Chains A and B, each alone.
Chain A
Amino acid sequence: MAYSDKVLDHYNNPRNVGSLDKGSDKVGTGVVGAPECGDVMKLQIEVEGDTIVDAKFKTFGCGSAIASSSLATEWIKGKTIDEALAINNTQIVAELALPPVKIHCSVLAEDAIKAAVSDFKAKRAEEASKHTEGAQQ
């Protein structure tokens, strides 16, 4: 199977590999996929206000899965949460020229963004409810 130049580039020089402090209130973590399916992506975002100021990933998966998650972190950095949520897997497919058998990698990357955002929103909601409770007491 031949890989596109962009997939090779992300594989050889992955952007934003690493981890953020998952305990931090500002950080949302999404882990999607399963080891027995051959791919697991962990994508994390750090949010200030409504803006994603940092993003990191770690991926167990094929080269296309690594490239999809690397690209996703690159795209969401500096975007607002809503802008990040608007990213669609077909945009990833087009950018990386993924063949049909690799489309699931792009779907997983989209899911990872959504999972990280929803983790962050859950944390924020919890935080807000703590404050409300605190105010009532």
Chain B
Amino acid sequence: MQLPIYLDYQATTPVDQRVLDAMIPYFTSLYGNAASRNHEFGWKAEEAVDSAREACASLIGASAKEIVFTSGSTEAINLAMKGVAEMYADKGKHIVTALNEHKAVLDTAKHLERKGCEVTYLKPGKDGRITREMVESALRDDTILVSIMWANNEIGVVNDVRGIGALCHERDVLFFTDGTQAVGKIPVDVEADHVDLMCFSGHKMYGPKGVGAFYVRRRKPRVRLVAQMDGGGHERGMRSGTLNVPGIVGLGKAAELCAAELESEIARATGLRDRLEEKITSRLDQVHFNGSREHRLPGCLNLSFPYVEGESLLMGLSGIAVSSGSACTSASLEPSHVLRAMDVGDDLAHSSIRFGIGRFTTEEEVDYVADRIVEVVERLREMSPLYEMVKEGIDLNSVEWTGH
């Protein structure tokens, strides 16, 4: 086993060697522009793009014509939300999303509010999940779009996508889901799940950074969008700009591998995730689980270690890459908005750690990380005034703190 150990697969993933091997020729020998229609450099590039489009479509149960290549999920989210809001402005101006969405969705929603849209931000349940009933209660006659992520990036909770999708189709409202954390990790079927628009990113599924796919439904209903990038009319006019052929080839290969290994990877990641949790909670008292036990991603575990601050915990875990919901680790100095939305409490949010397990994680690594966590949490609790107070029988909620 080698240090550092990477347990941050929700942030990004390494490129699989098989993906890289597929990409290499498209940098140096097959470098044609996929839009060059009159020579074989262009034809080869176009062929490669077509085959990647098929692989992406097949992974999510779509047809190849419904796939638009983008630079990644943030771009696709902007295109989906702004594109729908502009195209369907005559129909309505109301959008439904949730407080625990990714910042790319929340910031785009805020932008649309400034442009005159009205946005309802649903509050998830204590388990962090958004259900069909929650969405239903927010729908209005002028609702044009529901934007609810498939799986949450911080806590791994899988939302009731099928229920929400069915509801949207019954009510004639477009349904966009950010599938970045779900696609390639759990079964995704845009037909069975009634999805109209969905995005995913290469780098979350062992493909390269800077490339993603955007699914736009072509029938029942046919979704139309106002393009957000003007130019040469690439990607059926929805996303102008020369195609990133090597990146797209990599994304296609990544999609193919995810599809082939989906079942075995789900079983493996789930086993490692549960092993990690068991090895930690069997040896430490008062560990708080964040999220939903029933509806969650195989490779994500979010735990809070009360009375220990997250950044100090990360500091003790040198050589181990995990992330924390603590304010001290974010640029904004605010604790995780995802944990706040589900009423975890700011104190527990500051103490949270996300463990991300993926394709290259080993049992040995999981065991090592569990040992280190136990050791560091015990050490920091020994120097925690809060832990001492609790041991003395003081209720921390009854203390008058001097906030700053």
Mark A residues whose CB is within 8 Å of B: 1, 3, 8, 11, 14, 17, 19, 31-42, 57-63, 65-66, 101, 104, 107-108, 111, 115
**Alpha-carbon separation in the docked complex, A111 to B326 (Å):** 23
Asked if A63 and B333 make an inter-chain contact with CB atoms under 8 angstroms apart, the answer reads: no
**Alpha-carbon separation in the docked complex, A115 to B404 (Å):** 14
Query: Which residue in A11, A19, A63, A104 is a CB contact (below 8 Å) of B404?
Result: A104
Asked if A62 and B401 make an inter-chain contact with CB atoms under 8 angstroms apart, the answer reads: no
Contacts A36-B345, A38-B327, A108-B404; is A60 near B386 (CB within 8 Å)? yes
B265 within 8 A of A: no
> Which of B63-71, B131-139, B305-313 sits within the interface?
B305-313
Asked if B326 and A38 make an inter-chain contact with CB atoms under 8 angstroms apart, the answer reads: yes
* Chain A residues within an 8 Å CB radius of B396: 35
Asked if B383 and A33 make an inter-chain contact with CB atoms under 8 angstroms apart, the answer reads: no
Contacts A37-B403, A104-B404; is A60 near B385 (CB within 8 Å)? yes
* Chain A residues within an 8 Å CB radius of B311: 62-63
What are the interface flags for B51-95 relative to A under an 8 Å C-beta threshold, 1 for contact and 0 otherwise? Answer: 000000000000000000000000000000000000000000000
Q: A35-B350, A59-B384, A61-B312 are in contact. List 16 more A-B contacts (CB 8 A).
A: A1-B329, A11-B315, A33-B401, A35-B346, A35-B347, A36-B346, A36-B350, A37-B403, A38-B326, A38-B335, A57-B383, A58-B383, A58-B385, A62-B309, A65-B309, A66-B312
- Some 19 contacts from A to B, beta carbons below 8 A apart, are A1-B329, A11-B316, A17-B383, A31-B385, A31-B402, A32-B404, A34-B401, A35-B346, A36-B346, A36-B403, A38-B328, A40-B386, A40-B401, A58-B388, A60-B309, A60-B384, A60-B385, A61-B312, A66-B383
Contacts A36-B346, A37-B404; is A62 near B326 (CB within 8 Å)? yes
Contacts A11-B315, A34-B401; is A42 near B385 (CB within 8 Å)? yes
B263 within 8 A of A: no
**Alpha-carbon separation in the docked complex, A59 to B316 (Å):** 15
Asked if B385 and A62 make an inter-chain contact with CB atoms under 8 angstroms apart, the answer reads: no
* Chain A residues within an 8 Å CB radius of B401: 33-37, 40
Asked if B385 and A41 make an inter-chain contact with CB atoms under 8 angstroms apart, the answer reads: yes
Mark B residues whose CB is within 8 Å of A: 307-309, 311-312, 315-316, 326-329, 333, 335, 345-347, 350, 382-388, 396, 401-404
**Alpha-carbon separation in the docked complex, A42 to B404 (Å):** 15
- Main secondary structure, interface of A, reads mixed
* Chain B residues within an 8 Å CB radius of A17: 382-383
Asked if B309 and A39 make an inter-chain contact with CB atoms under 8 angstroms apart, the answer reads: yes
* Chain B residues within an 8 Å CB radius of A60: 307-309, 384-387
* Chain B residues within an 8 Å CB radius of A40: 385-386, 401
Residue of B nearest to A69 (CB): B383
* Chain A residues within an 8 Å CB radius of B328: 38, 62
Closest chain-A Cβ to B286's Cβ sits at a distance in Å of 14
**Alpha-carbon separation in the docked complex, A17 to B379 (Å):** 11
**Alpha-carbon separation in the docked complex, A82 to B42 (Å):** 80
**Alpha-carbon separation in the docked complex, A111 to B307 (Å):** 21
Asked if A59 and B385 make an inter-chain contact with CB atoms under 8 angstroms apart, the answer reads: yes
Residue of A nearest to B306 (CB): A35
* Chain A residues within an 8 Å CB radius of B312: 11, 61-63, 65-66
Asked if A58 and B384 make an inter-chain contact with CB atoms under 8 angstroms apart, the answer reads: yes
Residue of A nearest to B329 (CB): A1
**Alpha-carbon separation in the docked complex, A115 to B333 (Å):** 25
Closest chain-A Cβ to B228's Cβ sits at a distance in Å of 34
Residue of A nearest to B307 (CB): A60
Closest chain-A Cβ to B306's Cβ sits at a distance in Å of 9
**Alpha-carbon separation in the docked complex, A31 to B394 (Å):** 14
Contacts A40-B401, A62-B328; is A19 near B388 (CB within 8 Å)? yes
Asked if A107 and B404 make an inter-chain contact with CB atoms under 8 angstroms apart, the answer reads: yes
**Alpha-carbon separation in the docked complex, A63 to B383 (Å):** 12
Residue of B nearest to A35 (CB): B347
* Chain B residues within an 8 Å CB radius of A1: 329
* Chain B residues within an 8 Å CB radius of A14: 383
**Alpha-carbon separation in the docked complex, A101 to B334 (Å):** 12
**Alpha-carbon separation in the docked complex, A31 to B401 (Å):** 8
* Chain B residues within an 8 Å CB radius of A59: 383-385
**Alpha-carbon separation in the docked complex, A92 to B328 (Å):** 19
* Chain A residues within an 8 Å CB radius of B308: 60
Closest chain-B Cβ to A18's Cβ sits at a distance in Å of 8
**Alpha-carbon separation in the docked complex, A35 to B310 (Å):** 12
Closest chain-A Cβ to B72's Cβ sits at a distance in Å of 25
* Chain B residues within an 8 Å CB radius of A111: 402, 404
* Chain B residues within an 8 Å CB radius of A101: 333
Closest chain-A Cβ to B189's Cβ sits at a distance in Å of 41
Asked if B385 and A36 make an inter-chain contact with CB atoms under 8 angstroms apart, the answer reads: no
* Chain A residues within an 8 Å CB radius of B387: 60
**Alpha-carbon separation in the docked complex, A136 to B232 (Å):** 97
**Alpha-carbon separation in the docked complex, A111 to B403 (Å):** 12
**Alpha-carbon separation in the docked complex, A17 to B401 (Å):** 21
Query: Which residue in B307, B309, B383, B402 is a CB contact (below 8 Å) of A38?
Result: B309
